[in-house]
Amino acid sequence: MDETLKNAEPVSLWGHFDEIRKLPHPSEHEGPVADWVCRLAEQHGASWVRDSATPVGNVVIRVPATPGHEGAPIVILQGHLDMVGEKDNAVEHDFLKDPIKLRKEGDLLYACDTTLGADNAIGLAAALACLTDPDVVHGPLELLFTVEEETGLTGARSLDASLLQGKILLNLDSEEHGALYIGCAGGADTVATLAVDPRPLAGDGWTPLKVVVGGLRGGHSGIDIPFGRANALLLLAAALQRALQLGIDLQLASFAGGSKHNAIPREAEALLFTREPERLAEVLRREAIAAFVRYVGSEIVEAIRIEAQPAQVAPQVWNPLVRDRFLALLASLPHGVIRMSEAVPGLVETSNNVAVAVFGEGAVKLTLSSRSSVNEELRRVQQGIVLLLQAAGCEVHADEGYPGWQPDLQSPILHRLDRIYTELFGSAPARKAIHAGLECGLLGAKVPGMDMISFGPDIFSPHSPTEHVSIPSVALFWKLLKAVLADLAKNP
């Protein structure tokens, strides 16, 4: 086991986490981890099956009950095999082959300037510890490990529900100890492509530059959206638009930023030409100061960068009319919280993330991710975004998305966990819904009557290179999981 995890409890859980972090498992590349969990199942007397939902396939491991508890209800322990691969640009790390490097600060476990993958490797490790740890008392278990969760819940969408026999599901993909999650938002992506009508750069006296926005916190586009963090794509567009408004001629050659539909963009850059590099540098300096003021409560302001750097740029630039339409579009698109829930105090109901811009082959492609716990509101917001994109001349594809999970306050598993948590820790847990997509929404739709709940340890800043997990909270999460399984085994 990695030296960083020495003395971490529970040993069985952290041992599996250590193995998972060594294996490549970004979305669509979960094969090594899927193969490993199947081998582990065989080594411990469990059977497994993989479906054909994707090239890798979802995995279901069937674990026999602890002797004497064969008549207990089948419980599904559910998590996802993939992780979000995010890193700082300056870091050399290949998520398709390099293990995650660990570091510890006090009781907190981090990676070294990459995502840690605690989302959802902690949940996977806990489920696998229930397979391998003889101290865990349980009835029959089904360990459901889905694929491509982070790219749109693809595995859960395509799951063959006939593989499951259980009707009690414990989702191990939450990120707050002390809270039982009983609902989640639905979501839908929108992808727009805008042809930029490229042409050769005309005239002399142009200076090629790369304008960079960086140093932002980013984060999960659902969980972290209420904190009002800056969006690198929008900061970059606003800075360029401000320079144009002040009469500085900019010939745009490229615009790109963000990397994941479900991550707030931390970095963005534009390649361009200008005849007034000094004036542009001053505009960018002022835009950075304005960002310091605007985001003083939500960003590490001294880390924010909006600056120009020397660059080698091919003399091929966008049609200025398209440039102006594109920058105006980014200024018009909604980003952040759109509406708070009236039913659940403090819960974001609806939001949008302007997530990714990619430039190539004469076009720029934008990806936006919308979320809402109200399906009708999700459709309304997405339709408004589609109209804005079409008005700007984009070709648009609007994804159908996935449903939310409506809270059931009469849920038997909710009341059981309420009781057990209170007995273990001396106070009642919070009941919450999350402004993010849990697979419970799709799984509940596929298996009518499924009784579901989600819980987990304290995981902070998922989907960003500052992702970290509280080691003590993992021990508490494990204690709760063991107690719930024992209670279900002994008191069906």
- Which entry of 18, 19, 30, 82 is annotated as an active-site residue? 82
How far apart (Å, rounded) are the C-alpha atoms in residues 156 and 455? 18
- Identify the helix (H) or strand (E) that includes residue 386: helix 375-391
For 143, what's the count of Cα atoms within 13 Å in the CB-facing half-sphere? 27
Active site residue 149: yes
How far apart (Å, rounded) are the C-alpha atoms in residues 293 and 38? 52
- Identify the helix (H) or strand (E) that includes residue 321: helix 320-332
* Radius of gyration over every alpha carbon of the chain, rounded to an integer in angstroms: 24
Angle, helices 320-332/375-391, rounded to nearest 10 degrees: 160
Work out the end-to-end distance of the chain between its first and last CA atoms, rounded to an integer number of angstroms: 37
Identity at 296, one-letter amino acid code = V
Please choose, from the candidates 78, 91, 95, 100, the residue with its C-alpha nearest in 3D space to the C-alpha of residue 17: 100
Do the Cβ atoms of 255 and 330 come closer than 8 Å? no
Identity at 177, one-letter amino acid code = H
Q: Are strands 186-195 and 363-372 parallel, antiparallel or unpaired?
A: antiparallel
**What's the DSSP call for residue 402?**
B
Q: 389: which 2 tokens?
A: 């994109």
Q: 249: which 2 tokens?
A: 């001629």
- Which entry of 30, 149, 269, 467 is annotated as an active-site residue? 149
Please choose, from the candidates 127, 8, 142, the residue with its C-alpha nearest in 3D space to the C-alpha of residue 482: 127
How far apart (Å, rounded) are the C-alpha atoms in residues 273 and 344? 50
How far apart (Å, rounded) are the C-alpha atoms in residues 459 and 173? 10
Q: 103: which 2 tokens?
A: 């570091």
Q: Which residues lie below 8 Å from residue 340, measured CB to CB, with a gap of 6+?
A: 346, 347, 348, 349
Angle, helices 118-132/11-22, rounded to nearest 10 degrees: 130
E strands, 132-281, are: 141-146, 168-171, 179-184, 186-195, 199-200, 207-214, 250-257, 268-274
**What's the DSSP call for residue 266?**
-
For 163, what's the count of Cα atoms within 13 Å in the CB-facing half-sphere? 25
| Active-site residue set | 82, 149
